Chain A
Amino acid sequence: MKLKHRSRVKPHVPFAPMGDIAFLLIIFFMVTSVFIKEAHVDVTLPKSQDIAKIHDGQVTVSMDGEGVVWVQGRPCALGDVEALVSGELEARAENLVMLKIDENMRHEQFSPLLSALSATAAQLAWIGEQE
């Protein structure tokens, strides 16, 4: 018996929507990413048992192991911290400051920084690591 050959239907995968979805994903990642401005600041964070996860603020103040103060990734003099942080908070309409101080700093070194920050009326989130 002679069998009839079925006509083959060529499969067609629509690639256009795949490209659309991929670019939407890229746009999503780019919009939701927060780039770290302080990757170059070398701070060894202090450790404690009494810490919790906290929501990120957009203003970061750091004191590295050399005692240099950084506001938003830029070095600044201690005397300028209050004005700079106040300006950054005002521009972002928020009052949370992420504070990072190297664990080897002595009290007499970081105490003036705490005083300057307390004068800004910002809420401080002091960043550390889980012990």
Chain B
Amino acid sequence: MKLSRRKRVEAAADLVAFADVAFLLIIFFILTSTFVRNSGQKLELPSASKDPENVQNEVLTIHLTPERIMLNGEDELAGLQSLREYLSDAQLADRPDEERLVWIESSPGVRCGRYYQVVAAVADAGGILAIFEEESQ
């Protein structure tokens, strides 16, 4: 018996629609993406060898209250700008590590916003922060 050959239908994918869908997806991703670029300060924290309690030299201490900023428990600074100028004059970044330590003592009630400004100023000036002690009342 002779079988008749079926006629072959050539398969064709519609690539125009394919590309359209792909570009729509790209546009969707671009429009729904939010690009986040974080800003802040990387903090240098004291290692065991640089722990303020183990360091013999005098450590610069910044005492922070909700209203005032004091240096070494005595000199009251006029404000944050004065602190920046003091730190800039001290040239912390050029000193050896053990002389770059800055101890920040904070009274309870100091808001994070204010605390952060002092921490950022010290880190920006090249100080190594010892920040984790809370002043006992």
Contacts and interface: CB of A to CB of B under 8 A. Distances in A.
Interface of A: 15-16, 18-19, 22-23, 25-26, 29-30, 33, 36, 46-54, 56, 98, 101-108, 110-111, 114-115, 118, 123-130
Q: Is the interface of A mostly helix, strand, loop or mixed?
A: mixed
A51 B124 CA distance: 7
Contacts of A18: 15, 19
| Range of interface residues on B (Cβ < 8 Å) | 35 or more
Given A48-B116, A102-B112, A56 B38 contact: yes
A107 B110 contact: yes
A16 B120 CA distance: 54
Contacts of A23: 22
Contact of A51 (B18, B23, B41): B41
A95 to B, nearest CB: 11
A45 B4 CA distance: 78
A19 B43 contact: no
A47 B123 CA distance: 14
B22 A104 contact: no
B39 A104 contact: no
